[in-house]
Amino acid sequence: MTVTGPLSGITIVDLTRVLAGPFCTLILSDLGARVIKVEHPDGGDLARTLGPWFNGKSGYLLSVNRGKESIALDLKSENDLAIFHRLLAGADVLVENYRPGVMERIGLGWESLHARYPTLIYAATSGFGHSGPYSSYAAYDLVAQAMGGVMSITGHPGSPPTRVGTSIGDIAAGLFTAVGINAALVHRAKTGEGMKIDVAMLDCQVAITENAIARHFAGDAPGPIGARHPVVAPFDAFPTQDRYIIIAIGDDAAYRKFCATIGREDLATTPLFLTNTLRLEHQQLLKDELSAVLAERSGAEWLTILRAAGFPCGPINTIEDVVNDPQVAARNMIVEVEDPKAGTVKLFGCPIKMSAFDDPHRRATAPELDGDRERILKEIADDDQR
Amino acid sequence: MTVTGPLSGITIVDLTRVLAGPFCTLILSDLGARVIKVEHPDGGDLARTLGPWFNGKSGYLLSVNRGKESIALDLKSENDLAIFHRLLAGADVLVENYRPGVMERIGLGWESLHARYPTLIYAATSGFGHSGPYSSYAAYDLVAQAMGGVMSITGHPGSPPTRVGTSIGDIAAGLFTAVGINAALVHRAKTGEGMKIDVAMLDCQVAITENAIARHFAGDAPGPIGARHPVVAPFDAFPTQDRYIIIAIGDDAAYRKFCATIGREDLATTPLFLTNTLRLEHQQLLKDELSAVLAERSGAEWLTILRAAGFPCGPINTIEDVVNDPQVAARNMIVEVEDPKAGTVKLFGCPIKMSAFDDPHRRATAPELDGDRERILKEIADDDQR
């Protein structure tokens, strides 16, 4: 059940919990790395206590920990700390998402680990990073989303605060950490040197907010604008006879063709709508015009017409629509694990498809707390005998 | 001005336009790779026509193309195609985000390139991927957000469709492609082999929607829920005397301490609120109780009190707040470019902080279309003479 991939042969010691770190190490695991989750004996990863539930097993845990191994170690116990060091001695990467300073207090800070394991890559994911005035502040996804600005540009004008519906505060940090770890592995292959990677959830929110930052410095004041695009029009969710659909027209030529396709050639030559800049300026008027036409047919009919003409368009899918979508199935984006407790569970797959490796549909499940202890200890003992 | 990093010495030939691809290659550039943007002579990257504007230069372009080089080549011209092949011969990675089939039609598909350049890594980012029934459909960010399900869980119950305020459809694909390219470089360092990476925007939306997919399969029907957390409470935006603030309480022990901190010990022992499961069930009642207390002080006062007690909390920052935040400054997340046309422009920085490399505040600007032609052609000529 182990996945073979570009990171096969790489061992990750994983101290992370809940989401940002586990999302990162799930990607590394899907790329072939061996991920050993080191959890506290007292309950382990907090995700183990969070729903949704599958026969009493946490779906929160399963979702981002499939394919990993688990050993429970109390790093404050001398014996367990010795086992942890044996793991580090055989590892390529250590990942942790404690608050800054926690690793130093238990003698596992970057400086001392680097001195002892010079080839080890040390990746830290935290709310605000290992420097700066907020470094010691606690953060969860929602705090990063709020402080990073993405909430201020999500939602409808005048609506109460709106969170991005998925935990993008954690997930963006997990992704950037995964990029950093892989890049550090490239560097190590060349030089033999490990390095520390320090990724902050707040910094990652700043990075993904990119265009809004440019707009701010250009004198704009970005705010929530519903479903429309900030600098392109028409590029929005439009009502049809029965449901909203997405229509995304990227440039003037496409706009003219679009007007012809929906039988409103007149809108192509209306002076107020001639260029993207003009359409942006008069977008409400344009939206009203388009909505009136679109109300004449169902969403499905319009999508057939617009797709035949090559326009970027689509339905607004529910999660149920997504998991039953034929394209999602064809791309193996819903995979299965067979869990002794939860039974067969479907989870999201790996979006990095590689010509050199298979993309198995059946994947290994998430480990029980301490579920791989015996085998891991035996491996250490075997190594000692060599 | 060139950034030194783990990817120094790596050359990327970059055919990508607008956002998903350019976001990916910006990260690679920030990690030290040389990125040569190959643009069509007829206007180049569409981003060059999109605002915001800095003295007539596109901020859209600047935001995700700083530090890259540009050469204009028409791949349908024999002479330009020959130059393109000279670039590929010296490159480590080719990245493109055309619709599937376009590269094959101009003789640059993976199969033929792999035969000619066996060590080349070929990364394709597209709306729906290089396989499956929707493969040929057009997509933009908004289409991926809508079809991938994230819009169905973003917003307030009953609100019109709500887009994630940043282009997460493009950005997630750019990030996963960057992870894949780095992993392929790790693999190539070991084996000498190139590979094709095929990343679809839709697949990446499925991946980042992770927990909602688990909730669906556990029998839930995830929908928009404003700013609150789907499986943890209290974990939401709460009104205070003057503004909303974020309070995120992750477990029962933290909840009890939180009640004491706000002077409402009684809420800690209210039977309806004893556990996370109960608080989720009665979350509106709990929110009403908490909002009443929080209305007694300003947001800033509450944040001071809650931070002193160690709770994850924070303001909901506007983009202006973000770019002026002392933590964002301390982490060098707003960098500067000096552009001959636009002047000094501030843009988002790189969130991967590495012990082995500097994180310069001054960065190279985005190139003019074809701005590096002469130097690149001279390099090729010099190579020929060797």
C-alpha–C-alpha distance, residues B295 and B98, integer Å: 52
Side chain identity at residue B361, one-letter code: H
Q: From CA A358, how far away is CA A335, in angstroms rounded?
A: 13
DSSP string covering A62-76: HHHHTT-EEEE--TT
Residues of A in contact with B5 (CB under 8 A): 183, 187
- How confident is the model at residue B24, as a pLDDT? 98
Q: How is residue A341 written in tokens? A: 């407790």
Per the CB < 8 Å rule, is A129 touching B221? no
Distance of residue B312 Cα from the nearest chain A Cα, in angstroms: 5
- Is residue A91 within 8 A of residue A98, CB to CB? The reply is no
> What's the pLDDT tens digit per position in A131-169?
999 999 999 999 999 999 999 999 999 999 999 999 999
Q: Which of B352, B357, B359, B363 to mutate against chain A (most A CBs within 10 Å)?
A: B352
- C-alpha A245 chain-centroid distance: 25
Chain A residues touching B119 at Cβ < 8 A = none
Cis peptide before B52 (omega within 30 of 0): yes
Residue A385, pLDDT above cutoff 90 = no
H-state helical runs in chain A: 20-30, 59-65, 78-89, 102-105, 110-116, 141-147, 168-191, 201-208, 210-217, 252-261, 265-269, 276-281, 283-294, 299-308, 319-323, 326-330, 373-385
Q: Is the distance from CB of B95 to CB of B21 less than 8 angstroms?
A: yes
Instruction: Say which of B142, B172, B277 has its CB closest to residue A246.
Output: B142
Eight-class DSSP state of A341 = T
Decide if B349 and A128 are in contact by the 8 Å CB cutoff: no
By percentage, how much of chain A surpasses pLDDT 90? 96
Average pLDDT over residues B367-371: 98
* Nearest residue to B185 (alpha-carbon basis) of B91, B112, B92: B92
At B383, the pLDDT band (50, 70, 90 cuts) reads: confident
Interface of B with A in 119-178 (CB under 8 A): 127-135, 137-143, 146-156, 159-168, 171-173, 175-178
Strands B362-363 and A343-348: what pairing? unpaired
**Chain B stretch 48-107, residues whose beta carbon is closer than 8 A to a beta carbon of chain A:** 49-54, 59-60, 62-64
Query: Could you give the C-alpha distances from B150 to A124, A321, B8, B146, in angstroms and in order?
Result: 28, 12, 36, 7
- A204 pLDDT higher than 70: yes
**Cα radius of gyration rounded to whole Å, chain B:** 25
Q: Is residue A108 scored above 90 in pLDDT?
A: yes
How far is residue B203's CA from residue B127's CA, in Å, rounded to a whole number? 9
Render pLDDT for B248-263 as a digit per residue (tens, 0 to 9).
Answer: 998 899 999 999 999 9
Phi-psi region of B226 (alpha: psi -120 to 50; beta: other; left: phi over 0): left
Average pLDDT over residues B260-287: 96
Mean pLDDT value across residues B102-109: 96
Angstrom distances, CA of residue B232 to CA of A47, A48, B252? 11, 13, 10
Chain A CB contacts of B60 under 8 Å are 211, 214, 231
Any A CB within 8 A of B373 CB:
no
Q: What token pair was written down for B371?
A: 């701005």
Cβ distance B268 to B251 under 8 Å?
no
Q: Between A and B, how many residue pairs show a Cβ–Cβ distance under 8 A?
A: 564
Q: Could you tell me the two tokens for B141?
A: 């960010």
Q: Residue A2 — very low, low, confident or very high, per pLDDT cuts 50/70/90?
A: confident
Please write the tens of the pLDDT for every residue from B26-74.
999 999 999 999 999 999 999 999 989 999 999 999 999 999 999 999 9
Would you call B319 and A213 a contact, using CB atoms and an 8 Å cutoff? yes
* Active-site residue (options: A216, A229, A282, A361): A229
Mean predicted confidence (pLDDT) in B220-235: 94
Question: In chain B, which residues have their Cβ closer than 8 Å to the Cβ of A126?
Answer: none
A228 touching B (Cβ < 8 Å) = yes
Between CA B234 and CA A373 the distance in angstroms is 35
Contact: A214, B349; criterion CB under 8 Å: no
What crossing angle do the helices spanning A299-308 and A252-261 adopt, rounded to 10°? 120
Strands A93-96, A11-14: pairing is parallel
What pLDDT, in 10s, does the model give residues B310-350?
Answer: 999 999 999 999 999 999 999 999 999 999 999 999 999 99
Where would I find the H helices in A138-270?
A: 141-147, 168-191, 201-208, 210-217, 252-261, 265-269
Across the interface, whether the CB atoms of A182 and B183 are under 8 A apart is answered yes
Contacts of B31 in chain A (CB under 8 A): 179, 183
| Minimal C-alpha gap between B365 and chain A (Å) | 14
When pLDDT is averaged across residues B116-124 and rounded to a whole number, the result is: 98
Which of chain A's residues have a Cβ under 8 Å away from the Cβ of B310?
A: 138
Quote the percentage of chain B above a pLDDT of 70.
100
pLDDT digits (tens, 9 = 90+) for A267-311: 999 999 999 999 999 999 999 999 999 999 999 999 999 999 999
Q: How far apart are CA B179 and CA A180, in angstroms?
A: 8
Residue B386 has pLDDT above 90, yes or no: no
> Of A234, A239, A366, A351, which is closest to residue A293 (Cα–Cα)?
A239
Give dist(CA A203, CA B331) in Å, integer.
Answer: 7
Cβ–Cβ under 8 Å, residues B84 and B383: no
Note the pLDDT of residue B35.
98
Contact B166 A209 (CB under 8 A): yes
Name the DSSP letter for residue A219.
T
Distances, alpha carbon B246 to alpha carbons A136, B267, B306, B311, in Å = 17, 19, 11, 10
In the predicted model, what is the mean pLDDT of residues B278-294? 96
Nearest neighbour of B232 by CB, restricted to A5, A50, A213? A50
Contacts of B130 in chain A (CB under 8 A): 353
Rg (CA), chain A: 25
What mean pLDDT do residues B215-236 have? 95
Read off the pLDDT band of A1 (50, 70, 90). low
Q: For the segment B129-165, what is each residue's pLDDT rounded down to a tens digit?
A: 999 999 999 999 999 999 999 999 999 999 999 999 9
Which residue type occupies A180?
A: G
Distance between CA B298 and CA B83 in Å, rounded?
63
CB-based contact B216 A323, cutoff 8 Å: yes
Q: Would you say A186 and B28 are in contact if contact means Cβ atoms under 8 Å apart?
A: no
B85 labelled catalytic? no
Half-sphere exposure of A65 (CA within 13 A, CB side): 30
User: What CA–CA distance (Å, rounded) separates A290 from A240?
Assistant: 10
The pLDDT value recorded for residue B1 is 62
pLDDT in tens, A312-355: 999 999 999 999 999 999 999 999 999 999 999 999 999 999 99
Of B31, B63, B209, Cβ closest to residue A210: B63
Tell me whether B341 touches chain A (CB under 8 Å).
Answer: no
Q: Is A14 helix (H, G, I), strand (E, B) or coil?
A: strand
Is pLDDT at B2 greater than 80 in this prediction? no
User: Which residue bears the tokens 């590892």?
Assistant: A91
Nearest-CB residue to B186 (from A6, A200, A325): A6
> How far is it, in rounded angstroms, from Cα A127 to Cα A140?
7
At A271 the pLDDT is: 97
SS (H, E, C) chain B: CCCCCCCCCCEEEECCCCCHHHHHHHHHHHCCCEEEEEECCCCCCHHHHCCCEECCEEHHHHHHHCCCEEEECCCCCHHHHHHHHHHHHCCCEEEECCCCCHHHHCCCCHHHHHHHCCCCEEEEEECCCCCCCCCCCCCCHHHHHHHCCHHHHCCCCCCCCCCCCCCHHHHHHHHHHHHHHHHHHHHHHHHCCCCEEEEEHHHHHHHHCHHHHHHHHCCCCCCCCCCCCCCCCCEEEEECCCCEEEEECCCHHHHHHHHHHCCCHHHHHCHHHCCHHHHHHCHHHHHHHHHHHHCCCCHHHHHHHHHHCCCCEEECCCHHHHHCCHHHHHCCCEEEEEECCCEEEEEECCCCEECCCCCCCEECCCCCCCCCHHHHHHHHHHHHHC
More confident residue, A88 or A1: A88
Q: Which of A244, A347, A351 sits opposite B161 (nearest CB)?
A: A244
> Among B171, B190, B240, which residue's Cα sits nearest to residue B19?
B171
B264-292: average pLDDT: 96
Please tell me the pTM assigned to this model: 0.98
Spatial separation of the C-alpha atoms in residues B28 and A184, rounded to whole Å = 12
Interface touch B218/A27, C-beta < 8 Å: no
> CB–CB of B156 and A155 under 8 A?
yes
Domains of chain B plus CATH, in order, are 11-209+326-385 (3.40.50.10540), 235-239+244-315 (3.30.1540.10)
What is the maximum span of chain B, computed from C-alpha positions, in angstroms? 83
Query: Across the strands, what pairs with B124?
Result: B96, B198
Q: Are B199 and B180 in contact (CB under 8 A)?
A: yes
Q: Is A183 on the interface with B (CB under 8 A)?
A: yes
